[in-house]
Structure 1
Amino acid sequence: MAEYEWQRVAREIEQDIESGRIPPGGALPSIIRLAEMYGVADRTVRRALRDLRERGLIETLPHKGSFVTDADG
Structure 2
Amino acid sequence: MLALQTHADTLLGKVINVADGDTITVLGDTNPPAQRSRLAGIDAPEKKQAFGNVSKQSMVEQVAGQAVAVICN
TM-score, with structure 2 as normaliser: 0.28
The structure with the larger Rg is 2
Structure with the bigger percentage of strand: 2
What TM-score comes out, normalization by structure 1 length? 0.28
Q: Which has the higher helix share?
A: 1
